[in-house]
């Protein structure tokens, strides 16, 4: 059911305001790739996007995946200008501040390569389609490392790029590969 579909009946028959809904833009499956590009994010339709990564596995123990953006008429990949702040917590309650990867935005880190070890994330992107504003994200991920510790991270990223973002790249940190499912949604605000 779309986010705004519950208009009647939940509040004793009272009509409630339509708050908008998430609309699927694309779903992609990565299979042992170093990067996956989504070059059509419908940025002229949506100013808010949700990127969902699920069942992400990696070829190199302890590695993960990151996000970069494409911009411009002839799409150019932005490989710098990203800032990240956040916190990492593992199941033994060890808390750490996240590093600041300048070359990309955070998605999922520290995934183990043993059977059943994987990661998932939800990443909200704001103002990607607004050429006069920087792009911001907030993220939450969870993964299991090779020591069978469950990690969760949350935080936000900022991309110092005041231009129209029109694509997203999910990539590894080097020549290692990843597999998994990636879905991109656009948030459509209510018109009522």
Q: How far apart are CA 58 and CA 143, in angstroms?
A: 11
How large a percentage of the chain has pLDDT more than 90?
46
Query: pLDDT tens for residues 5-35?
Result: 444 445 556 666 667 899 999 999 999 999 9
Least confident of 49-58, 109-118, 179-188: 109-118
Query: pLDDT tens for residues 73-120?
Result: 888 999 988 888 888 888 877 787 776 667 888 899 889 898 889 999
Could you tell me whether strands 48-58 and 178-188 are parallel, antiparallel, or unpaired per DSSP bridges? antiparallel
Going by pLDDT thresholds of 50, 70 and 90, the confidence category of residue 3 is: very low
Q: How far apart are CA 25 and CA 27, in angstroms?
A: 7
**Cβ atoms within 10 A of the Cβ of 12, count?**
5
Residue at token pair 């459509």: 188
Phi-psi map region of 18: left, alpha, beta (phi>0 left; psi -120 to 50 alpha): beta
Average of per-residue pLDDT values in the chain: 86
Inform me whether the pLDDT recorded for 148 exceeds 90.
no
Instruction: Encode burial over 148-170: b for 16+ CB neighbours within 10 A, e otherwise.
Output: eeebebbbbbbbebebbbbbbbb
Q: Which two tokens stand for residue 41?
A: 């994010």
pTM of the model: 0.85
pLDDT of residue 160: 81
**Cβ atoms within 10 A of the Cβ of 92, count?**
8
pLDDT of residue 13: 60
Query: pLDDT tens for residues 128-142?
Result: 888 888 889 999 999
């Amino acid at each position: 059911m779309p986010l705004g579909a519950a208009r009647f009946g939940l509040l004793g028959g009272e009509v409630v305001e339509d708050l908008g809904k998430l609309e699927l833009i694309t779903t992609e499956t990565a299979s042992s790739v170093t990067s996956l590009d989504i070059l059509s994010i419908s940025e002229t339709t949506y100013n808010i996007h949700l990127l969902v990564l699920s069942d992400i596995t990696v070829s190199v123990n302890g590695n993960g995946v990151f996000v970069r953006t494409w911009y411009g008429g002839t799409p150019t990949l932005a490989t710098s200008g990203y800032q990240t702040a956040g916190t990492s917590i593992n199941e033994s309650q060890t808390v750490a501040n996240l590093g600041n990867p300048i070359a990309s935005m955070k998605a999922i880190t520290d995934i183990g390569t043993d059977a059943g070890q994987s990661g998932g994330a939800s990443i909200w992107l704001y103002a990607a389609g607004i050429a006069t504003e920087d792009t911001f994200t907030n993220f939450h991920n969870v993964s299991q490392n090779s020591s069978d510790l469950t990690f969760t991270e949350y935080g936000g990223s900022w991309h110092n790029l005041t231009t129209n973002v029109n694509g997203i790249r999910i990539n590894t940190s080097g020549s290692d590969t990843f597999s998994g499912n990636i879905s991109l949604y656009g948030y459509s605000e209510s018109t009522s």
